Structures are given as C-alpha cells and as structure tokens.
C-alpha cells in the first residue's frame, strides 16, 4: 500500500487531520517515554542488586558503586530523551504548515484559475517555511510558564530533580537497612514507567482494521491505567505534552492568521474532552455559542493537557475569487494577500506540497512512527 500524502487529505477535513496528527504524536511520546524509562529502571535494578553483599544489603562500598551506576544510567537516559523531545517539538510546530500547503493547493490555486491567474507551479524547498518555523521555536523557548520559568529551566529542573530523587531513594533505602531488591523496587516505582504502556500505545498507532474490531479484537482501543505514570514518568510527560501542544497551537494559530481566505477561527473541543472546564466556557462565549472568534483572539492551549483545536471559518467562495481577481489584476488592494505572497517566497503559485516541513502532517496522521526507527 502506498503512503498517503498531502494530496490525500480532503480540504474539508484538513484541520481534523492536523488534530489527528498531533494526537498521534502525543500517543507516541507517551509510549516511548514509558519504554525508555522502563528500560532504564531495569538497568538500575541490575546495578543495585549487583552492588549488594552476599546477604543482599549494601555496605558503604556497595552504596558508592550503586550511586555511580545509577547516575550513569540516568545521565544516559536524559542525554537521549532531551534531543528526542526537542526534535518532536520542531515536528509538532511543522504539522500546521502541511495544512497551509493543502489549502494553497486545493483552494487558492483553483481560485487563481477561476481568476484567470494561474502559472506553472515552481517547486519549493524549505527556505520558505524555515524562517517561520525558527521564529515559532524562538518564541516558544522564551515563553514564561506560570511558575516564572522558561522551558530550558523546566527541563533542567526535570533532570536535576530526578537525579536527586534517585540518589535520595538509594540513600534512604540503605539507611533503613532495606535489601537491594527492595531498593530496586523503590527506584522502579520512583521512575514510574508503566510496563504495559509501550505495547498499548504501539497497538493504537498501528491502527486496528475494521475486520479486527468486528471480530472482537479491541486491544488498543481501550484506555486504562497502563500509561497513567507517576514520579519521573509523570513529570517528564507533563512537560513534554504541555510544550508540544503549546508550540503546535502557536504554529496552528500563525498559519490560520496567515491565510487571507479564512475570515474567522472556531475553537473545537477534543473528542477526548473529559469534563466541563474553561474550554467549554470559551466555546460558549464565541459567536453563536459555537466558539467562533476573530483570528488570533484565543490562545491555545487553554490549560495544561488541553487538546482543543482550531478550524477555519472560510470566506464565501465567490467573494474570494472576486477579491483575488481584483488583487492579481492590481485593481483592488488586498494587504493580507500581499503578506501571504511574501510569506510563501513571493510567488503564490509555488508548490508548497513539496516542502519537507509540510510532510510532517501526513507522516504523523497516517504513518506508524515506530517504522521510522
């Protein structure tokens, strides 16, 4: 089966596809973080037990050996997790540019044809989207959380707090005369990785067929406690989810504001929205009680773990084509279209679907990220 591309995304489902892509990324981040922490917990268990005396306890020398080993294992985990998380942030910010490419290909270009202004499309490279992507990343790096910290400080705290907690768990266990096995169990609980979470999330991402479901196989369709997490796992995922969602939402808002054919934006609840909160209030206060606002009015996410998303309220097609005809002929000013032309490199006919940055939309919406390893 051939891979799905931007061309396979219907125009009237592009925002829903964008939401699907970011939710699948969240699912992948959850499973992978649990898997990596689970593997590190196993290595720490081996290190602690291996440092024990014949009676299963740790003396002073064993404590030093175990401390060095645990520090080494944690540093190795964090050295891999941090750049992996940072790369996913960039991909999360890239997804909405795929949405822009679909709109340009399936709405703007047909409208240009109707306005008698269509030329042979030129392929684009990522110099078109790179400056915008870098600006979004720079703004996200400078964002101040409610606790007064930037992302870099929160990542640093995650690292140092986790290492301090690992050392404290080990020291307390030795001081209380616990066996190496019991100390290892305490460390495993502190790291908080769910053993079944990676398998559950991987099954979800690989997508069951309708035949599987009809046959009674609902594995991967049921949620449970496997990915709830605690300790380090919970803190790492809270930070990752919050930041990935925030940078994605900022990119989505920027793209929405850049499209001249979008009159307003509509805030939508995630299908997984569990209970009434500020999200419901924001939607109720929009035009017609449907969450419709002027572009750029609402800043998502509205709260930690918020998965609300925006959809476009479009211009009337006839009005759009008429305005476009006046703009291309130079008879009517359209500053928003001037800005869009500049944004895409000075040629509205450019083929944005060839951008590698735009490919993150179909990749995350349709492919299995585990196949990329």
Report whether 262 contacts 295 (CB < 8 A): yes
Per-residue model confidence (pLDDT) at position 307: 85
Q: What is the pLDDT of residue 237?
A: 94
β-bridge partners, 351: 123
Q: Tell me the HSE value of 181 on the side-chain side, using a 13 A CA sphere.
A: 3
Residue 255 exposed, middle or buried by CB count within 10 Å (0-12, 13-18, 19+): buried
Residues 6+ apart with CB under 8 A from 178: 57, 186
Query: In the beta sheet, which residues pair with residue 311?
Result: 266
Q: Write down the pLDDT at residue 21.
A: 95
Please give the Cα distance from 44 to 72 (Å, whole number): 9
3-state secondary structure of 312: strand
Q: Greatest CA separation found in the chain?
A: 90
106/129 Cα distance (integer angstroms): 19
> Structural domain boundaries of the chain?
6-95+126-243+359-368
Direct distance between the N- and C-terminal alpha carbons of the chain, in angstroms, rounded to an integer: 20
Measure the CA–CA gap between 258 and 294, rounded to whole angstroms: 13
Separation CA 321–CA 315 (nearest Å): 10
Structure confidence at residue 100 (pLDDT): 97
Q: Which two tokens stand for residue 356?
A: 């590698």
Residues of the chain with pLDDT below 70 are 1, 117-125, 207-225, 272-274, 373
The predicted pLDDT at position 118 comes to 60
Residue 40 sits at φ, ψ, to 5 deg, of -65, -40
Q: What confidence score (pLDDT) does residue 1 get?
A: 56
Contacts of 234 (CB under 8 A, 6+ apart): 192, 228
Rounded Cα distance, 333 and 111, in Å = 17
Res 226: pLDDT: 77
**Contact of 197 with 30, CB cutoff 8 Å:** yes
């Amino acid at each position: 089966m051939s891979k799905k591309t931007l061309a396979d995304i219907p125009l009237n489902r592009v925002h829903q596809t964008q939401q699907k892509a970011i939710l699948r990324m969240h699912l992948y981040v959850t499973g992978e973080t649990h898997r990596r922490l689970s593997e590190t917990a196993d290595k720490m268990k081996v290190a602690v037990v291996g440092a024990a005396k014949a009676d299963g306890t740790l003396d002073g020398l064993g404590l030093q050996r175990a401390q060095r080993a645990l520090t080494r294992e944690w540093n190795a985990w964090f050295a891999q997790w941090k750049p992996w998380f940072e790369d996913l942030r960039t991909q999360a910010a890239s997804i909405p540019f795929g949405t822009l490419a679909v709109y340009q290909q399936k709405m703007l270009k047909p409208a240009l044809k109707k306005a008698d202004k269509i030329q042979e499309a030129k392929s684009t490279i990522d110099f078109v989207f790179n400056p915008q992507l870098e600006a979004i990343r720079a703004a996200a790096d400078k964002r101040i959380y409610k606790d007064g910290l930037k992302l870099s400080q929160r990542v640093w705290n995650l690292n140092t707090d986790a290492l301090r907690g690992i050392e404290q768990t080990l020291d307390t266990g030795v001081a209380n005369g616990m066996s190496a096995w019991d100390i290892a169990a305490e460390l495993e609980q502190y790291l908080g990785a769910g053993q079944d979470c990676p398998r559950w999330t991987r099954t979800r991402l690989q997508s069951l067929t309708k035949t599987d479901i009809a046959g009674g196989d609902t594995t991967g369709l049921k949620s449970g406690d496997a990915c709830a997490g605690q300790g380090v796992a919970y803190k790492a995922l809270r930070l990752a989810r919050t930041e990935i969602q925030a940078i994605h939402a900022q990119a989505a808002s920027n793209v929405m504001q850049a499209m001249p054919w979008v009159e307003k934006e509509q805030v939508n609840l995630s299908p997984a929205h569990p209970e009434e909160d500020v999200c419901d209030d924001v939607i109720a206060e929009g035009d017609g009680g449907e969450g419709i606002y002027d572009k750029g009015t609402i800043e998502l996410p509205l709260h930690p773990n918020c998965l609300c998303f925006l959809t476009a309220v479009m211009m009337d097609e006839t009005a759009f084509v008429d305005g476009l005809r006046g703009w291309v002929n130079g008879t009517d000013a359209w500053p928003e279209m001037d800005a869009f032309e500049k944004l895409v490199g000075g040629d509205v006919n450019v083929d944005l679907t060839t951008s590698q940055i735009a490919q993150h939309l179909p990749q995350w919406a349709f492919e299995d990220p585990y196949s990329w390893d």
